[in-house]
Amino acid sequence: MATMKHKIFCIREFSKSESATAVQCAFRRKFNIQPPMRKSIYRWNKEFDETGSLCKGKSPGPSCVSEENVERIRGSFERSPMKSTPSASRELGLSQTTVWHVLRHRLVYTPYHLQLVQALRANDKVKRVEFCDLNRHNVRIWGLQNPRVTFEHVRDSPKVNVFCAILLAKVYGPFFFDENTVTGVMYLRMLQNWLVPQMNRFLNESLPQQWIGRMGNEDLTL
Protein backbone atom coordinates (compact mmCIF):
# COMPACT_ATOMS: atom_id res chain seq x y z
CA MET A 1 0.00 0.00 0.00
CA ALA A 2 1.38 3.38 -1.02
CA THR A 3 2.32 5.76 1.76
CA MET A 4 1.91 9.53 1.66
CA LYS A 5 5.64 9.80 0.91
CA HIS A 6 5.21 7.53 -2.13
CA LYS A 7 2.23 9.54 -3.39
CA ILE A 8 4.09 12.85 -3.08
CA PHE A 9 7.04 11.43 -5.00
CA CYS A 10 4.73 10.23 -7.79
CA ILE A 11 3.02 13.62 -8.05
CA ARG A 12 6.35 15.43 -8.31
CA GLU A 13 7.69 13.05 -10.95
CA PHE A 14 4.47 13.20 -12.94
CA SER A 15 4.66 17.01 -13.02
CA LYS A 16 8.06 16.67 -14.73
CA SER A 17 7.28 14.06 -17.37
CA GLU A 18 3.47 13.74 -17.41
CA SER A 19 4.07 10.04 -18.03
CA ALA A 20 2.93 7.32 -15.62
CA THR A 21 5.51 4.93 -17.10
CA ALA A 22 8.34 7.37 -16.40
CA VAL A 23 7.03 7.79 -12.85
CA GLN A 24 7.08 4.01 -12.35
CA CYS A 25 10.70 3.79 -13.51
CA ALA A 26 11.78 6.63 -11.22
CA PHE A 27 9.84 5.09 -8.33
CA ARG A 28 11.58 1.71 -8.77
CA ARG A 29 15.03 3.37 -8.82
CA LYS A 30 14.21 5.49 -5.76
CA PHE A 31 12.56 2.96 -3.45
CA ASN A 32 13.65 -0.37 -5.00
CA ILE A 33 10.12 -1.80 -4.64
CA GLN A 34 7.22 -2.53 -6.96
CA PRO A 35 5.83 0.82 -8.23
CA PRO A 36 2.15 1.81 -8.03
CA MET A 37 -0.18 1.01 -10.91
CA ARG A 38 -0.57 3.55 -13.70
CA LYS A 39 -4.24 4.21 -12.85
CA SER A 40 -3.28 4.99 -9.24
CA ILE A 41 -0.71 7.55 -10.39
CA TYR A 42 -3.27 9.21 -12.67
CA ARG A 43 -5.88 9.19 -9.88
CA TRP A 44 -3.52 10.81 -7.35
CA ASN A 45 -2.55 13.48 -9.84
CA LYS A 46 -6.19 14.24 -10.65
CA GLU A 47 -7.10 14.37 -6.97
CA PHE A 48 -4.24 16.76 -6.26
CA ASP A 49 -5.22 19.04 -9.17
CA GLU A 50 -8.88 19.19 -8.05
CA THR A 51 -8.49 19.49 -4.28
CA GLY A 52 -4.90 20.57 -3.69
CA SER A 53 -4.50 17.69 -1.27
CA LEU A 54 -3.84 13.96 -1.20
CA CYS A 55 -5.65 13.42 2.10
CA LYS A 56 -8.66 11.16 1.74
CA GLY A 57 -11.92 13.05 1.90
CA LYS A 58 -10.21 16.44 1.77
CA SER A 59 -12.12 19.06 -0.19
CA PRO A 60 -11.36 22.64 -1.13
CA GLY A 61 -14.30 23.85 0.98
CA PRO A 62 -17.97 24.64 0.38
CA SER A 63 -18.92 25.99 -3.01
CA CYS A 64 -20.03 29.60 -3.23
CA VAL A 65 -23.79 30.09 -2.99
CA SER A 66 -25.18 32.80 -5.24
CA GLU A 67 -27.07 35.76 -3.80
CA GLU A 68 -30.11 34.63 -5.79
CA ASN A 69 -30.19 31.30 -3.96
CA VAL A 70 -29.61 33.04 -0.62
CA GLU A 71 -32.69 35.19 -1.26
CA ARG A 72 -34.69 32.15 -2.35
CA ILE A 73 -33.85 30.43 0.93
CA ARG A 74 -34.69 33.59 2.90
CA GLY A 75 -38.07 33.92 1.19
CA SER A 76 -38.89 30.26 1.71
CA PHE A 77 -38.34 30.44 5.48
CA GLU A 78 -40.02 33.84 5.83
CA ARG A 79 -43.16 32.28 4.36
CA SER A 80 -42.88 29.15 6.50
CA PRO A 81 -40.51 29.50 9.49
CA MET A 82 -41.31 25.97 10.75
CA LYS A 83 -40.24 24.35 7.51
CA SER A 84 -37.54 21.70 7.83
CA THR A 85 -34.28 21.95 5.92
CA PRO A 86 -34.99 18.67 4.02
CA SER A 87 -38.32 20.12 2.83
CA ALA A 88 -36.65 23.36 1.76
CA SER A 89 -33.97 21.34 -0.03
CA ARG A 90 -36.59 19.52 -2.11
CA GLU A 91 -38.56 22.71 -2.75
CA LEU A 92 -35.60 24.81 -3.89
CA GLY A 93 -33.57 22.11 -5.62
CA LEU A 94 -30.55 22.73 -3.37
CA SER A 95 -28.68 20.34 -1.10
CA GLN A 96 -29.72 20.20 2.54
CA THR A 97 -26.16 21.12 3.56
CA THR A 98 -26.33 24.28 1.43
CA VAL A 99 -29.69 25.29 2.91
CA TRP A 100 -28.45 24.74 6.47
CA HIS A 101 -25.16 26.58 5.82
CA VAL A 102 -26.97 29.62 4.36
CA LEU A 103 -29.46 29.74 7.24
CA ARG A 104 -26.80 29.54 9.92
CA HIS A 105 -23.90 31.51 8.41
CA ARG A 106 -25.25 33.78 5.66
CA LEU A 107 -28.65 34.72 7.10
CA VAL A 108 -27.59 34.12 10.73
CA TYR A 109 -30.91 32.41 11.52
CA THR A 110 -31.30 30.35 14.69
CA PRO A 111 -33.39 27.16 14.93
CA TYR A 112 -35.52 27.75 18.03
CA HIS A 113 -36.70 24.54 19.69
CA LEU A 114 -40.24 23.94 20.87
CA GLN A 115 -40.55 23.69 24.65
CA LEU A 116 -43.46 21.94 26.34
CA VAL A 117 -44.80 23.42 29.56
CA GLN A 118 -47.70 22.49 31.82
CA ALA A 119 -50.77 24.67 32.13
CA LEU A 120 -51.95 24.00 35.69
CA ARG A 121 -55.59 24.58 36.55
CA ALA A 122 -57.59 24.20 39.73
CA ASN A 123 -58.67 20.63 38.96
CA ASP A 124 -55.09 19.56 38.17
CA LYS A 125 -53.87 19.70 41.76
CA VAL A 126 -54.67 16.05 42.50
CA LYS A 127 -53.26 14.57 39.29
CA ARG A 128 -50.26 14.97 37.07
CA VAL A 129 -50.69 16.71 33.75
CA GLU A 130 -49.43 14.59 30.89
CA PHE A 131 -47.60 16.17 28.02
CA CYS A 132 -49.27 15.91 24.65
CA ASP A 133 -47.89 13.35 22.22
CA LEU A 134 -45.61 15.62 20.20
CA ASN A 135 -42.13 14.95 18.83
CA ARG A 136 -40.67 18.34 19.72
CA HIS A 137 -37.13 17.25 18.81
CA ASN A 138 -37.98 17.54 15.10
CA VAL A 139 -39.73 20.92 15.41
CA ARG A 140 -37.77 24.08 14.59
CA ILE A 141 -38.81 27.70 14.09
CA TRP A 142 -36.17 29.52 12.04
CA GLY A 143 -35.73 33.26 12.57
CA LEU A 144 -33.48 36.08 13.70
CA GLN A 145 -35.36 36.40 17.01
CA ASN A 146 -37.21 33.99 19.26
CA PRO A 147 -40.88 34.25 18.17
CA ARG A 148 -42.17 33.23 21.63
CA VAL A 149 -44.97 31.26 20.00
CA THR A 150 -47.44 29.38 22.21
CA PHE A 151 -49.36 26.31 21.05
CA GLU A 152 -52.26 25.17 23.24
CA HIS A 153 -53.31 21.53 23.37
CA VAL A 154 -56.57 20.43 25.01
CA ARG A 155 -56.38 17.14 26.88
CA ASP A 156 -59.25 14.73 27.45
CA SER A 157 -61.36 16.19 24.65
CA PRO A 158 -64.65 14.34 23.94
CA LYS A 159 -64.08 11.20 21.92
CA VAL A 160 -65.59 7.82 21.17
CA ASN A 161 -63.83 4.50 20.52
CA VAL A 162 -65.58 2.17 18.09
CA PHE A 163 -64.72 -1.31 16.79
CA CYS A 164 -66.07 -2.79 13.57
CA ALA A 165 -65.03 -5.93 11.66
CA ILE A 166 -65.91 -6.11 7.96
CA LEU A 167 -65.86 -9.49 6.23
CA LEU A 168 -66.80 -10.44 2.70
CA ALA A 169 -70.32 -11.58 3.63
CA LYS A 170 -70.89 -10.03 7.04
CA VAL A 171 -70.25 -6.98 9.18
CA TYR A 172 -69.68 -7.23 12.93
CA GLY A 173 -70.40 -4.06 14.80
CA PRO A 174 -70.22 -1.33 15.56
CA PHE A 175 -69.10 -1.97 19.12
CA PHE A 176 -68.81 1.16 21.29
CA PHE A 177 -66.37 1.14 24.19
CA ASP A 178 -67.59 2.81 27.36
CA GLU A 179 -64.09 3.87 28.39
CA ASN A 180 -62.28 6.92 26.99
CA THR A 181 -59.06 4.92 26.62
CA VAL A 182 -58.98 1.35 25.30
CA THR A 183 -56.31 -0.86 26.84
CA GLY A 184 -55.12 -4.26 25.71
CA VAL A 185 -57.14 -5.94 28.46
CA MET A 186 -60.33 -4.15 27.39
CA TYR A 187 -59.73 -5.02 23.74
CA LEU A 188 -59.15 -8.71 24.53
CA ARG A 189 -62.29 -8.82 26.68
CA MET A 190 -64.32 -7.38 23.79
CA LEU A 191 -62.96 -10.02 21.41
CA GLN A 192 -63.67 -12.90 23.78
CA ASN A 193 -67.08 -11.82 25.04
CA TRP A 194 -68.55 -10.10 21.99
CA LEU A 195 -66.83 -10.86 18.67
CA VAL A 196 -65.80 -14.54 19.00
CA PRO A 197 -69.29 -15.78 20.04
CA GLN A 198 -70.83 -14.04 17.03
CA MET A 199 -68.26 -15.54 14.67
CA ASN A 200 -68.83 -19.01 16.13
CA ARG A 201 -72.58 -18.64 15.67
CA PHE A 202 -72.17 -17.50 12.07
CA LEU A 203 -69.79 -20.37 11.20
CA ASN A 204 -72.02 -22.97 12.84
CA GLU A 205 -74.97 -21.73 10.80
CA SER A 206 -73.07 -21.41 7.51
CA LEU A 207 -70.70 -24.40 7.77
CA PRO A 208 -72.05 -26.77 10.41
CA GLN A 209 -69.45 -29.27 11.60
CA GLN A 210 -67.11 -28.14 8.79
CA TRP A 211 -65.23 -24.97 9.63
CA ILE A 212 -61.53 -25.12 10.57
CA GLY A 213 -60.81 -24.64 14.24
CA ARG A 214 -63.77 -26.60 15.56
CA MET A 215 -62.71 -29.12 18.21
CA GLY A 216 -65.48 -31.49 19.20
CA ASN A 217 -68.24 -29.73 21.07
CA GLU A 218 -66.08 -26.64 21.63
CA ASP A 219 -66.23 -23.91 19.02
CA LEU A 220 -62.80 -22.33 18.62
CA THR A 221 -62.30 -19.93 15.76
CA LEU A 222 -58.78 -19.46 14.48
Assess whether 107 and 134 both reside in one domain: yes
Q: Are residues 167 and 213 in the same domain?
A: yes
What is residue 51's predicted lDDT score, i.e. its pLDDT?
74
| 156 in any annotated domain | no
Residues 209 and 174 in one domain: yes
Domain boundary among 143, 172, 188: 143
In the prediction, which pLDDT does 218 show?
54
In a domain, 100, yes or no: yes
Q: How much is the pLDDT for 207?
A: 76
pLDDT score at 50: 73
Tell me how far apart the alpha carbons of residues 28 and 36 are, in angstroms, rounded to a whole number: 9
Helix boundaries (H) for 52-152: 67-79, 85-92, 96-101
Q: Does residue 177 lie in a domain region?
A: yes
Residues 75 and 116 in one domain: yes
Q: Let me know if residue 61 belongs to a domain.
A: no
- Domain of 128 in residue numbering reads as 67-143
| 137 and 75 housed in the same domain | yes
Q: Which residues of the chain have pLDDT under 70?
A: 1, 56-63, 115-140, 149-157, 211-222
Compute the distance between CA of residue 172 and CA of residue 59 in angstroms, rounded to an integer: 65
* Domain membership flag for residue 205: yes
Question: Residue type at 215?
Answer: M
One-letter amino acid at 151 equals: F
Paired strand residues for 215: 218
Beta-bridged to residue 162, according to DSSP, are 176
- Give the largest Cα separation in the chain, rounded: 96
Q: What's the confidence (pLDDT) of residue 155?
A: 62
Three-class DSSP category at 106: helix
Q: Are residues 39 and 74 in the same domain?
A: no
User: Is 112 inside any structural domain?
Assistant: yes
Which pLDDT belongs to residue 73?
Answer: 92
Residue 62 counted as domain residue: no
Establish if 87 belongs to a structural domain.
yes
* Together in a domain, 107 and 139: yes
Last residue of a domain, one of 94, 114, 143: 143
**Local structure of 140: helix, strand or coil:** strand
| Phi, psi of 141, deg, nearest 5 | -125, 110
Q: Are residues 15 and 81 in the same domain?
A: no
The count of domains in the chain is: 3
